[in-house]
Structure formats: C-alpha cells, structure tokens
Structure 1
Amino acid sequence: MTGPDSAGKEKKHGSTAPDYGLVLTVLLLAGFGLVVLYSTSSWNGQVKFADPAYYLKKQLLATALGLAAMYAVSCIDYHKWGKLAGLGYLISLLLQVAVLIFGDEYNGSRRWLAIGPVSFQPSEFAKVAVILLLARVISSRLQRIVTLRQMLGVMLLALPLVGLVGTNNLSTAIIIMGIAVILIFVASPGYLRFVLIGAGGAGFLAVFLSLESYRLERLAIWRHPEAYEKGYQTMQGLYAIGSGGLFGVGFGGSLQKLGFVPEAQNDMIFSIVCEEFGLMGAVLLMLLFVLLVWRLYSIAVHVQDLFGCLIVTGILGHILIQVILNIAVVTNTIPNTGITLPFVSYGGTSVLFLLSEMGMALNVSRNHPHGESGIC
C-alpha cells in the first residue's frame, strides 16, 4: 500500500456499477423523511407562516440539491478528495471561527452562518472534513496505528475542530470525536489502547460537564424530567411514544405535534414517528437504518485500499452515531441534546451533506468489485 493516489491508479480498471442497494435505501429514507416531515411540521408551518407545506418545500429543495450532489460526487474519483482534505479541514476551522464571531443564534445556540437569504450550519461540513483528513493522514502516512503515540497524534488533528464546534454545539462535537475514534479503531490492530483512551475520555467528559452548571442541570433533568420545567419537551416526546402503541394513531393523527412537542420537526421527530406509526413503524424505520449501515459496511470490507475503506467507515460511523444518539435522546436513554435524525429531521444543510457523503460511498463502490475481499 503506497497511499490513496497510487491506490486509485492501481484500481481504475476495477470500476463497476454502484451499489444499487445503497441507492435504494437512501431513496427510501429520504422519501420517508419528506412524508413524515410534512405530517410533523404542517401545524407549525400553518401557525408560523400560514403555509402547512412551508417546511416541506424547503426540505424538498434541499433534498433535490442533495440528490444532484450525490450523483455528481458519485462520478468523481474519491482519491481526488484526498488531495483536498487539508484545505477542506482548514476551511472548516475558518467557518467555525466565523460562526463564533458572526453566527446567527437560534433557540439559544449560535450554529448558523447566513449568506444573504441562505443560512447553513458549518458543523455539517466539519463532519465530512474530519473524515477526509483522517482517512488521508492514516492511509498515506501511517497505514496502521500501532503505538499509543500514533493514536494520540491522529486524535490531536481532530481536537481543534472538536473544540470550536463544541463551544456552541456539544452534540456535533461528540459525533466528530466519535468519527475520529472509529477511524483510529479500524486502523489499529490493538484493543487495550482504546480502553485507556476510553477511560481518559470518560474522565475528561466528567470534568467538562462539571465546569458549567447548565450541563449538570441537564443530567438532573434526564433523571427526573417530570420535576423540571425544562423537562417539558422530553415528557411530551415520551407521551407521543406511549400514545402510538403497536400500530400508531395513523398518518397525520398525532396530537403531540400540535404545539405540545416544541419544534417537533427537528430533534424530536422520532417521537411523532412512534405516535403516528406505532412500534411497528419505528422498528421498520430503524431497520432501514440498519440496512443502510450494512450496505456501507459491505462496501468498506470490499475496498482494496485503506483510504477508500476509511472514507466509507467514517461515513458509516457518522450515520450510526447520529441515529443511536437521536433515538437515545428521544427515548430519554441519555440526557437531552440537539441531535437530528439523519434524512428524517428538518435541516437543509444536514440532508445536503448526508447525500453528498452517500455519493462518496457510491464512488468507492464503483471503483471496487463487490465480490472481492478488501483491506479492512
């Protein structure tokens, strides 16, 4: 193995059809997300903008742009992204600094940058930037991370961005750190070092949470949401889940979306899925995510160079972490923090970059025959 560029030259002859199973799964998730979003957001849209389809129109536009981006990215040799990884990471750092200085605040969080009438969340780009940078560094310089020093060195590359993002968006910072850990784990032959890193990370998190009183308050609200005013959203989400029963109250029949669950179309949309489609609908949605992760895993294990394997693994880690954390928050398994459900929650920047990531995975699948055993 000599790095991502040489690997691309070696494998050009292996170009095949893209993974149609991945394409179909992504289309099903995106389509289901639009349907659920319309049902969930129609009341808010009517009350705030006198248009029940307000949120759907914006999400539909972002999804259309995302699908176009997915196709375009799937046609670009993924090795070319390795040459731009350092620049992309630098741009991501600058965007996060811009958010701290010029960013727009919404619901108490400064996460958005506005360019004219268009606003976006640079933290979504940060996830892609970290995946590409670490995949490039590991595949071209290290190949395998065999020492604790190498592991910490790679981790340190992600920390500046984690720190900047975490200033206003702790949940996304956790996702970025999780992506970095997964990539290092794949490139490392040992396990003991991860126990040490995990213990150190748990200690750091405990100190970090104790520095601000509102973070400790979140822990208290998580344990007893019914005893705190700020536990209102969690309680209403749990009411929605309990109301759905086995088969739900039917599409459009949710009562909790009528202002009881604040901003139901965002982080708490899974609770409305449970209410309208019941346990069976929630399980089917989770199975779609399992299918998506399986297709990404299948691509990763058949890739013949480490760079391509790490790109797909990073994308897989991003989806897996975000889905698990969102569902855990909605069900009050972990303290409440703002994490969207991929392809389903409202958010144009999120769906645009998610679909672009799917395009990268599709290009990797096109450049490596599906029946071969890979390097990971």
Structure 2
Amino acid sequence: MKIDKKHLLNYSILLPYLVLSVLGLIIVYSTTSATLIQYGGSPFRSVLNQGIFWIVSLLAIWFIYRLKLNFLKNSRVLTAAMLIEVVLLLIARFFTQEVNGAHGWIVIGPISFQPAEYLKIIMVWFLAFTFARKQKLIETYDYQALTRRRWFPRNWSDLRDWRLYSLLMIALVAAQPDLGNAAIIVLTVIIMYSVSGVAYKWFSTILTLIVGLSSLFLGTIAVVGVKNMAKIPVFGYVAKRFSAYFNPFKDLTDSGHQLANSYYAMSNGGWFGMGLGNSIEKRGYLPEAHTDFVFSIVIEELGLIGAIMILALVFFLILRIMNVGLKARDPFNSMIALGVGGMILMQVFVNIGGISGLIPSTGVTFPFLSQGGNSLLVLSVAIGFVLNIDANEKRESILEEAEEQYQSQINSAAET
C-alpha cells in the first residue's frame, strides 16, 4: 500500500509558519525602509534580501519533507554535520572580524552566515538521535544509562557522547561571545534531557542548580559592580548589558540607551498602536530595531492587542509542533518535535525577556519577525523536520490500521 506524503501534510503547522513568515517580511520592511531612505538606499533592499532567504527556506522545507527519515537517523550524516559545525564555529571565533564586540559571522562575498544559529537545530537532531538509541537503557537504569560512557569517547571519530559535544559547542558559542544563542542552546539541552525519559528528580536537580548559579552570578555582579566585572576577559562585551539590566535609566546615553528606548517604544504603542510604519523609535532612537528589538517596534506600531495576537499565533505553532512530539510513537520522532518546539519557545522567551528587562539583553532575534536570513532558514529547516516526522507517523498509523483490518478480514473469513 503506497501513500503519497503530499496528502499527509500538516497544515496546522504549515499555515501558521507561512502567515508568520509573510508578516515578518512586512515588519522587516516597516522597520528598515525609513533608515535605508535616510542613507540614500532603496527602501526594499532589506525586505528583498529577507525574501530571498524565505524562498530558499521554502525550498529547504520541500526538500526535507521529501527525505526519508532514515537519512536523519544515519549516524554518518549526523557526525559529518557536527564536525562541519565545529570547524565553522572555530573559523567564526578565530578567523573573522569582530562585529559589535563579538565574532560569529562568516562572510563569503555577498553571503554571510552565523554558525551558532545552525547549531540550535543540530543540537536538537543530535540529542534526539543519542537519547533515542538509549531508550531501553534509560527504562532499565534511568540516569546511569546516560553516564555509562566515559567523558571522552574512545576515538575522535565517535562524537556521540552527548555531554562532551554539548559542553564543547556551548563553550565555543559563549566564547564568541554569543550569550544569547548559548542560553537558548543550554535551555534546549535541558528540554531534550527532560523528555528523554530520565526521572524527574534529575531534571529538577539540574534546573535548581542552574537557577542557583544564575542567581549567584547576578548577585556577584550586583555586589562587585559591572565595571570591575568588565575587566574579566570576554565579559567586557556583555558588561554594558548587565548594567542596563540593573538600571537602564542610569546611563541613557550609553549602556541603558537601548533598553530605555525599548520601554519608550512599548509605552508609545498603548493598546492599539500608532499604526504600521508609524513608529518613532525605529527612526534612529532604538538601535537594532529590525533585529533584537523588533518586537518593541511591533508593540509600538500594532499595540499590545496586535502583539498579543502575534504571540498567540507563535504559541499556537509551538503547541502544534509539540503535539506532534507527544503523539509520536517513535522516540526519535518524539524528541525531534519536542526539541524543535522547545527551541522556538526558548528563543521567544529570551527575546521577550531581553526587551522587557526580565533578563539581561542577549541579542537574540524574535522568531520569524526579525530581519535575519540565517534565523529564518534555521527555523524553516526545523519546521521541515517536524512536517516530515508528522507525515511519517501518520503513514505508519494508516498502514498499521490497514494491516489490522486485513488480518481481521482474514480471521472472519476463516471462522465462516
């Protein structure tokens, strides 16, 4: 029995993705056109670049959806992707120019990409592959199943030890420094760990440890002072962000300028906003209005009501993705979907937390809405993974039902 995958497409995931992507193109134009005109450029330059990435993203979704899942479960393919990612992160850190106090962008002619963005989906893929292979051990030995291997693999061609690779990747991203993506990866790893089947006591212990260390870290900064902490290597880049986190209005011309203007933008928006394209803060007052702080401009132009509707659509997409993971019977499929949903959720949390002052600003883009072709492409690849997994789960279910009906008919015929 042959079932065409095009009839199994999950439109409750695809349609919200398409709506958010188109809305993102509109917001990219709104947040960049005025500045481009001011500097004598074409107002459509940024949105055209984003549109090209979106077309590539749609092709990526189509290609991934057509793949057989055995390709994603191939250890050689995964290992190759991981090794390439390590090389790219090293190149980004040590052989690229510093931009805004950090390394991370690799520029090849007119094309630039950020390896840390692609690491997020690779980590979900890698941990799902690793934990799915250990499900029987986890059922029997619980936490011991994930610690039976030594900290260092027996040979460097075997990079399947999840602790070694996770720590290595997080360290490389944090050293750039890109604390925003590092935080998302850490939180995603925790989610993947928690859905792997390990008893809740281990997850709660790790979460308590992270919260405790974070509180100790922030308390140390508050006591020692940001200026003294800035003398520590690598930390100098993020010192101003912590200064703004504690009191953005203390230094409006420097460290607190961005967060304070984010507050002004959200205040200007009120309930119903100033109207699409009518933002004041995007006209040179709020830096990174088209990337890190794009949601502040969304609130200013569309108001709190419009922002809530967008957030509701994002959360609907996340819930539909996680629903695929909850219903999946294959452990690999389940963890991929739950990991993707968790990854998007953590990116929303880190971005909204940064623009609202709930957590220090980390320079993370808002999913689908911020300008950033790499971010859009990574999210699209993740959506492609989930759509493929959902279609395969549906096909397996249909085949099993057909087999059961066929056996039932045979048994009935035998009885008569």
CA distance in structure 1 between the partners assigned to 2:250 and 2:178 by the alignment: 26
Q: Is 1:225–2:233 an aligned residue pair?
A: no
Measured at CA, do residues 337 and 49 of structure 1 come closer, stay the same or move farther in structure 2, by a change above 3 Å?
A: farther
Q: Which runs of 5+ in 1 are unaligned?
A: 1-10
Q: CA deviation at 1:306?
A: 0.5
Within a 5 Å distance, the mapping from 1:88-237 to structure 2 comes to 88-143=81-136, 145=138, 146-151=141-146, 154-167=162-175, 168-205=177-214, 206=216, 212=232, 214=236, 215=238, 218-228=241-251, 229-237=254-262
Q: CA deviation at 1:273?
A: 0.4
Structure whose CA Rg is larger: 2
CA distance in structure 2 between the partners assigned to 1:255 and 1:116 by the alignment: 34
Which residue among 285, 307, 311 is the counterpart of 1:286? Answer: 311
Q: Is 1:31–2:22 an aligned residue pair?
A: yes
* One-letter amino acid of the structure 2 residue matched with residue 54 of structure 1: R
Greater relative contact order, per chain length (Cα 8 Å cut-off, separation 6+): 1
Q: CA deviation at 1:132?
A: 1.2
- Classify the secondary structure of the residue corresponding to 1:138: helix
Q: CA deviation at 1:204?
A: 4.7
* One-letter amino acid of the structure 2 residue matched with residue 221 of structure 1: A
CA distance in structure 2 between the partners assigned to 1:267 and 1:179 by the alignment: 20
CA distance in structure 2 between the partners assigned to 1:64 and 1:103 by the alignment: 28
Q: CA deviation at 1:284?
A: 0.5
CA distance in structure 1 between the partners assigned to 2:108 and 2:85 by the alignment: 16
* One-letter amino acid of the structure 2 residue matched with residue 182 of structure 1: I
CA distance in structure 1 between the partners assigned to 2:36 and 2:146 by the alignment: 48
Measured at CA, do residues 172 and 249 of structure 1 come closer, stay the same or move farther in structure 2, by a change above 3 Å?
A: same
Q: CA deviation at 1:216?
A: 5.5
CA distance in structure 2 between the partners assigned to 1:259 and 1:203 by the alignment: 39
* One-letter amino acid of the structure 2 residue matched with residue 87 of structure 1: A
Q: Is 1:75–2:84 an aligned residue pair?
A: no
Q: Is 1:276–2:301 an aligned residue pair?
A: yes
* Structure 2 length-normalised TM: 0.82
Q: Which runs of 5+ in 2 are unaligned?
A: 148-160, 222-228, 398-416
- Classify the secondary structure of the residue corresponding to 2:112: strand
Measured at CA, do residues 363 and 49 of structure 1 come closer, stay the same or move farther in structure 2, by a change above 3 Å?
A: farther
* One-letter amino acid of the structure 2 residue matched with residue 227 of structure 1: K
Contact 2:25–2:50 at 8 Å: present in 1 too? Answer: yes
Within a 5 Å distance, the mapping from 1:286-325 to structure 2 comes to 286-325=311-350
* One-letter amino acid of the structure 2 residue matched with residue 43 of structure 1: A
My pick for the range that moved more, 56-65 or 12-21, is: 12-21
The size of the alignment, in residue pairs, is 363
Within a 5 Å distance, the mapping from 1:350-365 to structure 2 comes to 350-365=375-390
Measured at CA, do residues 108 and 216 of structure 1 come closer, stay the same or move farther in structure 2, by a change above 3 Å?
A: closer
CA distance in structure 2 between the partners assigned to 1:291 and 1:197 by the alignment: 28
- Classify the secondary structure of the residue corresponding to 2:364: coil
CA distance in structure 2 between the partners assigned to 1:49 and 1:310 by the alignment: 48
Q: CA deviation at 1:103?
A: 2.1
> Could you say what the CA RMSD is over the residues aligned between the two structures, in angstroms?
2.4
* Structure 1 length-normalised TM: 0.90
